[in-house]
Chains A and B, each alone.
Chain A
Amino acid sequence: MQEAIKIGLIALSAALAIGVSAIATAMSQSRIGAAMAGAVAERPELLGGAIILVAIPETMVILGLVIAFMITGLK
């Protein structure tokens, strides 16, 4: 029983690590994306930079994924 709870908690922690960071990334990207769409409409030459800026918050979810993997490796 205790083992099952332990495994469940590990799985939940891993899910939280990636889930919460994914939500945070999505929120940031939605704001950056909207702002950049406006900027690119005014100045199309900003498109390249805009794509890079939209990709910047993805670091959060990637770190979330790394942490999730580390958590699932716990015994």
Chain B
Amino acid sequence: MIQRMAKVEILGLKDVALEAIDAIHELGTLHIEDLSEKIPKMGGKRISRMEIDPKYADQVATLNTLRSKVGDMIRDLQLAVQEIPKAEVQKEYDAIWSEDVDVMIGRIKKIIDEVEQEVKDPLDRKADLMMELSRLETYAPIMQKIQPLAERVSKIEDMASIALVIERKFKAILNYLNDEISKITEGECEIISADVDEESTAALIVFNRRFLKQVHDFLAVQDVNQVRLPSDLAKKPLEEALTEIRARIKQIPEELEKIEEHLSEATKKYAIKLIAARNAIHDRIEAIEAVPKFAQTDQVFIISGWLPEECFEELEKVMLEKFGNKVVVTVTDIREEEELEETPVALKNRPFVRYFEIIYLLSKYPKYGTVDPTVVFAIFFPIFFGIMVGDIGYGIIITALGYFVFKKFRNKPLLSMGGYVLTVSGAWTIFFGILYFEVFGDLLEKALHHWGVHLPLLGSEHSFISFPINRLEAFTLMMLVSCALGFIHIGVGLVIGMINGYREGNKKHILEKAGGLTFLIGLLVAGLGLAKYIPKFFGPIGIVFALVGVVMATAGAGMGGLIETIVSAGNVLSYARLIAVGLASVILAQVTNDLTRQLWHGVFGVIVGIVVAILLHTLAVVIAMFSPSIHALRLNLVESFNKFFEPAKFRYEPFRKTGGEE
């Protein structure tokens, strides 16, 4: 249901303007209208846009700097924002907040200084240690490989060595280096190599010390990685350096652990303050930046906006209490078409229906003054889903999964809504699963047959309606059911279209939708009459009805109405997807069962069969959740909503303290 909104204008003396803005912000119910674009139409040259005082512009700049500092700290300290108790954050927020922006800035700076004093050095040290650890961990395996080779070299007099690390895929370059360095050293050179890991190879070039400079010069122009130790280790013998590296690798995590402990204490101590500071900064900036949306004269400020009718009294009371007769709040009527367009929309549905507002992730809200179709979606989406999937086993899994997501993620609106919709859809899947008598396809049916148990059938194989309904064979029945649902669903859409037309006082709109509905009813009657499901004379009557419908729609909306009405017959056929997707679902389940049965020989066959059955049925459940959802959505959005839906320009987004960016 769309909430009734009130449009209000707040006029007051300019000397209390900022306090009034703060009060509205605090109350958090008014959706602000941006007056800056409307000022030219408001008449009177004395009305102008409210400007941000240059003093406030400086304060916004300072607040933005503080915001980035606080944001960095929250990130560095890895604060789990969701887990921090909101009540405590609110308490701290109230302590930071002040109507005097400079006072507030002072308080936030104090918090930042305190935190910096406590965590800056440990954070810097932590970063250094992590970098050192990563560097040493790279050196250690290389040094380990090189050390025995280097030890042998060190025993040979007049010989020098240079260590290299090369990617294994470029190992062939060693032959090239060997050739080139042999030329430089007149053959007094050898390269010894060993693989370090899967990706790199360490190599030691051993050559006569006389050619040290030339070899260094040559390697400098080649694209090869020489192993260069940190300066404090470079001059030490390789063995000693390696021992030291190993000792440091062992020591650093202990140091890091101590720093982490210290930081964790600091996190506990400052988490609430930092989150509260971030929220306060965010809200203060938002309040200052809202100012240009308001209008002013020399003496008076003007704020215009919408709020739910039920919230008006509170706004009026707060303004009167805080500002007496310095501020006046008035309600204006929302009657003109232009105003209906501009009115922001807020929805207020009952709990069962509220979760189905998930549809508005894909679509805009319905226009103010029209019918909110959430309830239509809440009824038809799960039924369509259930008809398509229709399996007791899959239904139980989908319901359980949906309920788990719904319960587990109560704080995450999107997931909880999705979980709820899935739960209801799963319940309908079980219902239709009973009608089709399908449990993981024909698994139970085959098992019962194997054990010699026969189902209590209603009707015979040749009856038009029987229990259970065999989806693969009862095509005509399923087609009729799908089309009937299509007629009802589209019919509901057309009726809502007529109501919308009535609310907007648009007679042509009503005529068009009534024509569409008459056409569909005529078509249905004619079809049933010609197919002899009802007395034959209904056939021509239906055709006359359909023609009258076409004429009405054309009279209502011209050629557009004519085309739209005829297309609606195609829309009804589109509901055949309920059978098509359902057939794909049941056939996949049956193929899985057949495959499992074929494998069901011997212990190994049984194990493989069970694995295959689990894998393929899991795949079927995943597909069952995805594809039918899209088709059920499409039937709602394209086939039915198209008949009446008028999108809103704006959602109701009140000017309120949001409590930060999260």
Contact = CB atoms under 8 A, between A and B. Distances in A.
B634 A52 contact: yes
Interface string A42-60: 0000001101100110110
A55 B475 contact: no
Contact of A56 (B475, B479, B573, B634): B634
Contacts of A69: 475, 479
Nearest to A48: B362
B631 A55 contact: yes
B577 A59 contact: yes
What size tier do the contact residues of chain B reach?
10 to 19
A66 interface: yes
B574 interface: yes
A61 B638 CA distance: 17
A55 B579 CA distance: 16
Given A48-B361, A52-B362, A63 B576 contact: yes
A59 B574 contact: yes
A66 B630 CA distance: 20
Contacts of A51: 630, 633
B90 to A, nearest CB: 31
Given A48-B362, A55-B631, A65 B638 contact: no
A60 to B, nearest CB: 10
A39 interface: no
Interface in B465-480: 475, 479
A51 B579 CA distance: 20
Contacts of B622: none
Question: Mostly helix, strand, loop or mixed at chain A's interface?
Answer: helix
A63 B572 CA distance: 11
A63 B483 CA distance: 13
B21 interface: no
Mostly, the B contact residues are helix
B574 A52 contact: no
A62 B634 contact: no
B576 A65 contact: yes
Contacts of A61: 580
Interface in B581-638: 583, 630-631, 633-634, 637-638
Contacts of B630: 51-52, 55
A56 B634 CA distance: 8
Contacts of B634: 52, 55-56
A55 B637 CA distance: 12
A52 B638 contact: yes
A57 B631 CA distance: 11
Interface in A2-59: 48-49, 51-52, 55-56, 58-59
Contacts of B583: 65
Contacts of B580: 61-62, 65-66
Contacts of B633: 51-52, 55
Contacts of A58: 577, 631
Contacts of A56: 634, 638
A52 B570 CA distance: 18
Contacts of A73: 475
B362 A62 contact: no
Given A55-B630, A55-B631, A55-B634, A66 B361 contact: no
A49 B362 contact: yes
Nearest to A46: B362
A63 B475 contact: no
Interface in B208-238: none
B462 to A, nearest CB: 15
B365 to A, nearest CB: 14
A62 B637 contact: no
A69 B573 CA distance: 14
Interface of A: 48-49, 51-52, 55-56, 58-59, 61-63, 65-66, 69, 73
Listed from nearest, the 5 A-B pairs whose CB atoms lie closest are A48-B362, A62-B577, A62-B580, A66-B576, A55-B634
Given A56-B638, A59-B577, A63-B576, 6 more contacts: A55-B633, A58-B631, A61-B580, A62-B574, A63-B574, A73-B475
12 contacts: A51-B633, A55-B631, A55-B633, A56-B634, A58-B631, A59-B577, A62-B574, A63-B573, A63-B576, A65-B579, A66-B479, A69-B475
Interface of B: 361-362, 475, 479, 570, 573-574, 576-577, 579-580, 583, 630-631, 633-634, 637-638
